[in-house]
Structure 1
Amino acid sequence: MSFGLVNVPVRLFSATENHDVQFRQVHEKDGGRIKYQRICSIDGEEVPYSDIAKGYEAADGQMVILSDEELKSLPTRTTKEISIEKFVPSEQIDPLLFDKSYYLEPDKTGLKPYVLLRDALEKADRMALVTVSVRTRMTLAVLRVREGVIVLQTLLWADEVRKPEFESLSEETHATQKELAMASSLVDSLSGDYEPDEFEDDYSEAVAKLVETKIEGGDITETPEAKGEESEVVDLLAALQRSVDKAKAARSGGSAASAASETASTATGTEGAGGTARRSASASKSTAKKTAAKTTAKKTTAKKATTKKAATKTAAKKSTKKAS
């Protein structure tokens, strides 16, 4: 943190945390978590992370793909310095601009200048407007004091705050003196100090109690652990099915495909003894792969049959318990 000619070593800690109730999407029948695949909207193929790029959609709907090299050339700030630009009156910063909050902890070597800046901010009743690089992108922020600790709050850019444009409020409508007097009386009757502990998140508490009640009553779903091998088998079977479909499509070419095959055979016949040996080795590898694929398919079929029988027995037991 740069304060004039003084540098204060500090560490950033997130000042807030999210306590919202988090639900997971699961299969109602067995409680299995729902997974999402990265599927290309054009060819329907699953796309690995290595093939995913960043794209910017233009106003006319056209997609512009940006490479990593192009993104690296953009103006960014990798400096870890929090540079104080000016001190502004607190009332000039609209709370609507506040974004993320961080506590600044001073390093032992910078304790004295840290305390000096903290006390100066409190005495002046101003906020320090700073520039800071968060995740390589430069942003505006303010420094203020809360409970004896300097807090850094990043700010939204001015054009990120929407302007309220409501036609109903554009009319010249105002409250009458009598209505305003009654409203003021209501405000006075409800006036008080803000006590954070006075209010509680009753929704989160209600969800926690509901879950606890269901657990105590045994109303839970025992979800078997997902096995990575199963997803790999499914992906393998899908790949094999696509290969079979392509092979069938190639065979449906008729005489044209046969002619191409004969031409290829004639061309390979000129390779001599070395070519024959390579073809023999290739044929052996192909045979081994086909044998392995057949064995895997048999194992997968047997495994599915066993799983299906087990699921049927489990369903029958649950049905008997419910009937009793």
Structure 2
Amino acid sequence: MRWPDEIRDPTELLPPPVEVSDEEVDRALALTDTMTVDTQQGPDFEDRYTEAIARIIEAKRKAKPLPAAPEPERPAAVLDLMAALQESVSKVKASRGEEAGPAEVHELPKLKPKTAAKKTTAKKTTAKKTTAKKTAAKRTAAKKTASRRPRTA
């Protein structure tokens, strides 16, 4: 729920009005007509999942063994990026007239492992005994701060 002053008028969200000529409207309609597909047939528009489920249901109805799952399509060959990069660099060098040998690959310097900082144990100090007056003063100060309420304006 919102308060009435929090609700915005929806007309302020509308885009500003724009003048459109009849020629622009005709071009837009022609573009949508050329992009429209009248028939949705072909391998891109087949519902293979529904067909597979229908075959499974029919096989279960007739108490036959379930149909075998089709083999997944093999993905395209994995492209070796380093080989493609080497080939591209050698082509560019050859077009410049430079030596078309393999590109130089520099080894990265090995980083030194970070050494863990030595931990030193702090000596425990013996707790000093406080007097009854100091303890009582601390308790009353804690009560005052805990029970204090903020001021309202």
TM-score (norm 1): 0.12
Higher relative contact order (CA 8 A, sep 6+): 1
Q: Which has the larger radius of gyration?
A: 2
TM-score (norm 2): 0.23
**In proportion to residue count, which structure has more helix?**
1
